[in-house]
Structure 1
């Protein structure tokens, strides 16, 4: 019987530093393209919805992409293990570019949403396969350093995306938000194809569990669509939502049964008997959920409580956005030197609850103190990202590195999708229950719009003050809940085995 706690070491090609740098550059281009498309469209949404009509479909322009990425990610991991990651990465770039053209040529919101779903199917491969390639070319001990570059790429996308989207929309057209992918995609294809030529496809013939892939796609799609509907204001007990959740539960149960009997399962269930994999996927789920939640809550609180504009509120997020890659860089470099990930996980998981609790207790007007708390949070989360992924990759046999990497990436995507839906539903409900009597007839969504847009300015000053105080109380409660949830990461980090990673120590 194979010892799952000590996976066999397989041979890997030996690359020079120049070759590794070339491969990483191609990989980062692909990741940048996939990550950029999650943020670049945000500024263009009002303009494109006005031109194409169909405001009811507006949320699905974003959600359709995120749901498709989450569903496709674990499947791409298995495809990369079977057919070779360079080949699958090229295919996902092709799908992404074809979908980008369809998005740019869309003549209706329905066509745009369908094209965005197709784009998400390609985007799932860009992200998961690229991170698996890093595991193919560098040793476990060195991976943290390169995963820090990945986190930096995400930070660039989150900062540059809205800015680039605004420039393209204002001076050209919203369609250029999608046309810009063509030169980026062609460059990523050419660079990655040339750089990855030495990564030969696997020599062992392995079959694909197509039945499992279909069941997983259907089950996850139903689950994430139901969760997204809740975040958009539909009741949990809505008949459509109950049908979606019931179907998801049934189909995912069938998927698990299929995985237990398939010779080459899409998601090997033995992975979840490895403590490091389970714990690190849980850490990544919570960490990414916190990033997404704070990215929504912090600007929204500023706009609702201080009257800050959208651009000013977005600038307040810069400390969080920049400190995440800083923490990832520090974590990756330190892990490469000491060869251990548990101490870094404990350090990151210990400071994040402190930073979030600090945000709950301070006045949003105190910009410098808020910035300090965001730096603490971002650095802590940054320490967790690369170390958790490298821990997952090092805990499994090399033949399953792709599917393990995709499972970790899926945990991040699932955390993002669920946190957005749950956070939005909790905020709407909290606003409605905490609002003073004068605004009691308004829904949570109407209160949010009124506070941001100043539509309640005609209400007397005292009522206005009470309304703002109720909103402040709602945000404080949400931050406290987020801080409590982040304590789960500390518990999981404490349970991690203190493993020494394979590979030589990095040079200082």
Structure 2
């Protein structure tokens, strides 16, 4: 149980940092005089952690879980201190990039480690617990961030990571001493890792800029995806010739792995996009205040871990995961479609549909992961686990960017002043933070 506690604590830290700063962004931007770059405080972490997730998985297969996870925790810890000490917005964004470079290993390596220390039949149950912790932390991040910023300072959003990361580091180092340390350093594909990181970063930064309302026709914006796609093309060429590639392309041809990665990508495309856009719908269409709009996501937040726990239990008992993933993948888009037709002022009906959506998403989290782990040889469990985590994070990043771009385009087409809406939302974020922290107190 000691090792499970340490791994869950590492996952908790990585998941919280994806969303914990969202509510206090206006306060950070005001204090550091950086409203123009405010969105990059979130995007810098998401892009860096998404890019490095598969690389960490491969490194953990080669060098051992204990050393790679320890490195990720230490980097995350030091970067958290740098975030807390930042005096300008560029300093904070740079520190968030470093924090993301550490955070990318917290989820993928921790989940791969669980596959090493837990019997095959019990993987589903424990991965259900992990998926539930990750989902709750991701959705609860803004409330926790608002509470810390209201009663202490926004810097405590980062200071609080230090004791927790130290505890996770000590626990992991002690509990994983029996795991093999690896030792195939000479087979690391450094060129492949560099090309993958550069290529995916270019594409994700481009999508992030689109989500912030920048025109895709700008030369500096358009150059990003072109350079990124070129690097990804070179990456594929490099992986085909590398002795030990970062991402074995043959693994993606395994039907179970490919289907699970696509399903998890679509799952988080839906989840993260809904968590961002549903509060806007409740505010703009239903006239709800920011705090009320955020509280209306509680049914979705609570249903996800229940679905994940249930899926883990059912997999442990039956040994089957395909029906769970199919059910979740079918019901989730139907629930989202239902939300489009339900009056957002119908609080209880919206809550019921969000519960169904949360349960459907929860069913897919552990089932997709365990199915992928069981479909590959033991020596590839780390990279396979990282691919599922990467699919989740990429789906969330793409979902927010694409749907936010569509929203901005629709607003402009309808003649609404986007700048006025952004200012209203900034004010709403401040009210939301104050209301949530008062409620928490």
- For Structure 1 versus Structure 2, the TM-score category normalised by the shorter chain is over 0.9
Aligned pair partner of 1:225 in 205, 217, 229:
205
Alignment of 1:316-465 (within 5 A): 316-433=296-413, 435=414, 440=415, 442-447=416-421, 449=423
Q: Deviations over 1:14-62 (max 9, x none)?
A: xxxxxxx221111000000111112221222111111111211100000
Structure 1 stretch displaced more, 59-68 or 326-335: 326-335
Aligned pair partner of 1:279 in 246, 251, 259:
259
Give the structure-2-normalised TM-score: 0.94
Q: Cα gap change, 1:96/1:274 in structure 2, threshold over 3 Å: closer, same or farther?
A: same
Query: Does residue 187 of structure 2 align to residue 207 of structure 1?
Result: yes
Moved over 6 A (4+): 451-454
Contact 2:148 2:157 in 1 (8 A): yes
SS in 2 for 1:233: coil
Q: Distance in 1 between matches of 2:424 and 2:192?
A: 47
Structure 1 stretch displaced more, 159-168 or 385-394: 159-168
Query: Does residue 277 of structure 2 align to residue 297 of structure 1?
Result: yes
Contact 2:19 2:42 in 1 (8 A): no
Query: Does residue 206 of structure 2 align to residue 259 of structure 1?
Result: no
Q: Distance in 1 between matches of 2:31 and 2:421?
A: 27
C-alpha RMSD of matched pairs (Å): 1.6
Q: Cα gap change, 1:43/1:122 in structure 2, threshold over 3 Å: closer, same or farther?
A: same
**2:431 — aligned with what?**
none
**1:45 — aligned with what?**
25
Query: Does residue 220 of structure 2 align to residue 246 of structure 1?
Result: no
Q: Distance in 2 between matches of 1:150 and 1:112?
A: 29
**2:439 — aligned with what?**
none
Contact 1:303 1:452 in 2 (8 A): no
Alignment of 1:144-183 (within 5 A): 144-183=124-163
How big is the shift at 1:193? 1.2
**1:130 — aligned with what?**
110
- Unaligned regions of 5+ residues in structure 2, if any? 429-441
Q: Distance in 1 between matches of 2:218 and 2:303?
A: 40
How big is the shift at 1:126? 0.7
Q: Cα gap change, 1:295/1:205 in structure 2, threshold over 3 Å: closer, same or farther?
A: closer
Contact 1:429 1:444 in 2 (8 A): no
- Unaligned regions of 5+ residues in structure 1, if any? 1-20, 455-508
Q: Distance in 2 between matches of 1:408 and 1:158?
A: 17
Q: Distance in 2 between matches of 1:375 and 1:431?
A: 29
How big is the shift at 1:428? 1.2
Q: Distance in 2 between matches of 1:156 and 1:349?
A: 20
**2:437 — aligned with what?**
none
Aligned pair partner of 2:49 in 34, 49, 69:
69
Q: Distance in 1 between matches of 2:293 and 2:389?
A: 29
Q: Cα gap change, 1:219/1:419 in structure 2, threshold over 3 Å: closer, same or farther?
A: same
Contact 2:53 2:105 in 1 (8 A): yes
SS in 2 for 1:414: helix
Aligned residues: 428
**2:77 — aligned with what?**
97
Query: Does residue 169 of structure 2 align to residue 189 of structure 1?
Result: yes
How big is the shift at 1:103? 0.6
**1:492 — aligned with what?**
none
Aligned pair partner of 2:58 in 64, 78, 84:
78
